[in-house]
């Protein structure tokens, strides 16, 4: 048994998982984090590994012990080039149809390196088998050690490397681990070291020659790439974006939001004479919290990402009277005993809607927290009719099933470029200006913890929204 080959196998498995996790995060600024994206990432990953296993099996029959060195050396170089490919190739590929572009982009980012790493496993097994003369035992050892490497990469990337190093440097780190495994297992010929160093030089030249925009804050984690930027050419605005999708946009002179959605909330919610309590799940940049404070509400703001709370306070003038809680919205609801007069669910992250916040059980808990004349406001995408409206129908059916009185508001008729505000209350509501009449589709299921269907129902709407946003954003560029 060659223990050095087990060391190499460990880092090969670790590199596979690091590429899959980091590759998915690199795709999100262009395609979001919807079901389509994760299905494509997993499909391309499995295709690359399956093709690599086949190719590695073919190479093992050639009885060339140097093949493994060649394969791993090329894989290391390609891993270092992934951020470069992502930055130069993907912006052009996104002009293709959404699904076609997503598959092509995933192929460019994931397939080459994973194909080569997949090919390395049969070659390592072949070398081990030649030593211990037991193919099953050799294969079992290699796949077990490789899987342990994958487990190590999954936890270390999620909890440490991506949050503190960022995606690009995490890829570089695991490429370096793989190179160390190769150097430890074999005496690598000098030209391969030169080739490796040349690719590192290309990467650093690219990284440090990029023009720097006026970025005030940026951070990468498994929750997304967060950035705060100034844009003097557009209303002197300051923007908070996640995965390059703007979540909060504020005029720096007035301190007010440039979002039509928040302007609509301003028109819907009246000033209060006496202090009332408001809960916002999905704090974002805090401009809705500031609006509610101005209307005489005591505001509790819940945000899952502590980076966003930090940015809201530092860059978006979050009112110091807002009490912030860094936790999952559902967890806050489950442990809350306080009563509210207004609850706002604004849990969009780009086109994604966390399904567990809007299940039957979660909305039941919210109902128990509302005062008798309290209201629940839900920020939602614009689709109310047609095939893209199934997610909206599921949410409406869920609310009505619980006995809520529900109104739908928007100031636009264009479903592709608007937000809907769903207003749910325990008591009947009077007619409001901008109210949209709707016909329920009772064939669409309610969204529950046991049958979480809203992600499936929203898949087409999310894809359409992302495509429209990309076209608008790239045309402006």
Task: Look at residue 212 in the predicted model and tell me its pLDDT.
Answer: 47
Handedness of CA 137, 143, 144, 145 (dihedral sign): positive
Domains and CATH numbers, the chain: 3-209 (1.20.1250), 257-476 (3.40.50.150)
Distance between CA atoms of residues 463 and 365, nearest Å: 30
Q: Which residues pair with 276 in a beta bridge?
A: 297
Q: What is the b/e burial string over 232-245, where b = at least 16 CB atoms within 10 angstroms of the residue's CB?
A: eeeeebbbbbbbbb
CA distances from 142 to 122, 152, 179 (A): 9, 15, 18
Pick the closest to residue 109 from 87, 124, 92 (CA basis): 87
Task: Look at residue 10 in the predicted model and tell me its pLDDT.
Answer: 92
Tokens describing residue 314:
């530092």
Phi, psi of 367 (to 5 degrees): -60, -35
Task: Look at residue 202 in the predicted model and tell me its pLDDT.
Answer: 59
**167: region left, alpha or beta (phi > 0 left; psi from -120 to 50 alpha):** alpha
Biggest CA–CA distance in the chain, Å, is 84
Task: Look at residue 477 in the predicted model and tell me its pLDDT.
Answer: 45
Q: Which residue has the tokens 């901008």?
A: 434
Tokens describing residue 26:
């690199």
Tokens describing residue 20:
């899959």
Distance between CA atoms of residues 197 and 135, nearest Å: 36
User: For each successive 10 residues of the chain (477 residues), what is the average pLDDT?
Assistant: 79 93 84 79 94 91 80 88 81 78 91 94 79 64 88 89 82 87 71 58 53 74 80 76 84 87 92 96 94 97 94 95 95 95 87 85 96 95 91 95 95 88 94 90 92 86 77 54
Tokens describing residue 86:
């992502």
Task: Look at residue 209 in the predicted model and tell me its pLDDT.
Answer: 47
Distance between CA atoms of residues 373 and 396, nearest Å: 20
């Amino acid at each position: 048994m060659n223990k050095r080959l087990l060391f190499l196998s460990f880092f090969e498995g670790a590199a596979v998982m690091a590429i899959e996790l980091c590759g998915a995060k690199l795709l999100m600024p262009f395609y979001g984090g919807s079901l389509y994206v994760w299905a494509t990432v997993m499909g391309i990953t499995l295709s690359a590994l399956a093709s690599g296993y086949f190719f590695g099996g073919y190479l093992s029959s050639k009885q060339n012990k140097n093949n493994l060195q060649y394969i791993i050396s090329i894989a290391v170089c390609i891993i270092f080039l992934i951020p470069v490919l992502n930055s130069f190739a993907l912006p052009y590929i996104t002009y293709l149809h959404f699904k076609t572009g997503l598959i092509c982009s995933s192929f460019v980012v994931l397939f080459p390196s994973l194909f080569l790493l997949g090919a390395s496993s049969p070659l390592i097994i072949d070398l081990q088998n030649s030593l211990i003369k037991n193919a099953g035992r050799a294969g079992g050892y290699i796949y077990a050690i490789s899987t342990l490497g994958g487990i190590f990469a999954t936890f270390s990337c999620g909890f440490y490397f991506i949050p503190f190093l960022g995606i690009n440097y995490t890829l570089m780190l695991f490429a370096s681990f793989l190179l160390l495994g190769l150097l430890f297992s074999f005496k690598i010929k000098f030209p391969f070291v030169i080739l490796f160093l040349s690719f590192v030089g290309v990467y650093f030249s690219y990284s440090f020659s990029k023009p720097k925009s006026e970025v005030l804050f940026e951070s990468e984690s498994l929750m997304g790439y967060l950035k705060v930027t100034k844009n003097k050419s557009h209303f002197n605005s300051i923007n908070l974006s996640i995965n390059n999708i703007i979540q909060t946009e504020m005029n720096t002179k007035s301190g007010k939001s440039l979002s039509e959605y928040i302007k609509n909330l301003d028109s819907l919610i009246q000033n209060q004479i006496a202090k009332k309590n408001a809960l916002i799940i999905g704090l974002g940049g805090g401009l809705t919290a500031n609006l509610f404070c101005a209307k005489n509400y005591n505001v509790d703001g819940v945000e899952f990402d502590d980076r966003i709370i930090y940015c809201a306070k530092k860059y978006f003038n979050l009112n110091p009277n807002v009490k912030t809680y860094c936790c999952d919205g559902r967890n806050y609801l489950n442990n809350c005993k306080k009563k509210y007069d207004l609850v706002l669910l604004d849990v969009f992250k780009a086109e994604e809607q966390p399904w567990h916040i809007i299940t039957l059980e979660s909305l039941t808990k919210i109902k128990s927290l509302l005062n008798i004349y309290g209201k629940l406001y839900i920020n939602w995408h614009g689709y109310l009719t047609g095939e893209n409206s199934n997610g909206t129908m599921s949410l409406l059916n869920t609310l009505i099933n619980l006995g809520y009185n529900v109104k739908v508001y928007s100031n636009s008729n264009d479903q592709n470029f608007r937000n809907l505000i769903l207003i749910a209350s325990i008591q009947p509501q009077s007619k409001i200006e901008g109210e949209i009449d709707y016909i329920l589709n009772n064939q669409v299921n309610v969204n529950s913890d046991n049958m979480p269907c809203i992600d499936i129902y929203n898949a087409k709407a999310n894809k359409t929204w992302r495509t429209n946003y990309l076209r608008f954003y790239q045309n402006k560029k």
